[in-house]
Amino acid sequence: MSEPAVSVARYLATTTAEGPGLRTAIWVQGCSIRCAGCFNPHLFPTEGGVRWSPADLAARVLAEPSTGLTLLGGEPFEQAEALAEVARQVRAGGRSVLTFSGFTHAALRRAAAAGRPGVAGLLAATDLLIAGPFRRDRLDHERPWVGSTNQEFVVLDDRFPDLADWRPGALDRVQVDVDRAGTVSVNGWLDTDRLDALLADL
């Protein structure tokens, strides 16, 4: 049987907008949750993305000058088995793992208890879980990195105290990259009105 692969929609070598410190960010392709108002609807289909073996992807992350890995999407737990292997190898290299999920922590625990492949493994290899679907009627203007107030910060391992530091001083950030062809890429979190204003200025 072939090794499960990760379907990568976007890879960012370093960013300060997807969790504390300088992090490598991986957006995975595919999300069945389909929250109304999701900023990444192009990541809903499972088709697309570039397939990476967990070992190659972990090696690429460990070659970056970052201090941690952020997994987001798309829905990381819908590729849990392969991402658990990536996360294990990245942690073994001394870096932290922050995983976003549109599933609640309770739902993930139930899935792990039911034996869903990889879910227990990805939870075990995650230091900080940010869990719950995006609710556009409950926008969060207080905490960094999250979109809505229902989303939970769950510290699963306390090896990295900075990961739990989302209170005053841990501000939302947005990163805008423009490549040589003029293509603009944005990551981080900003509500739609402020993002529109920023891009209009650009």
Compute how many other C-beta atoms are within 10 angstroms of the C-beta atom of residue 159.
10
Which residue is at the shortest CB distance from ligand SF4? Answer: 102
Single residue of 8, 25, 28, 35 touching ligand SF4 by CB under 6 A: 35
- Cis bond upstream, residue 74 (ω within 30): yes
Single residue of 38, 83, 98, 119 touching ligand SF4 by CB under 6 A: 38
Residue 34 in the binding site for ligand SF4 (CB under 6 A): yes
97, 118 Cβ separation under 8 angstroms: no
Of the pair 54, 102, the CB lying nearest ligand SF4 is at 102
Residue 102 in the binding site for ligand SF4 (CB under 6 A): yes
**For ligand SF4, which stretch binds (CB under 6 A), given 31-39, 55-63, 112-120, 176-184?**
31-39
Compute how many other C-beta atoms are within 10 angstroms of the C-beta atom of residue 155.
14
Residue 52 in the binding site for ligand SF4 (CB under 6 A): no
Looking at residue 5, its amino acid is A
Q: How many residues does the chain have?
A: 202
Secondary structure class of 81 (helix, strand, coil): helix
Contact set with ligand SF4 (CB under 6 A): 31, 33-35, 38, 40, 43, 73-75, 102, 133-134
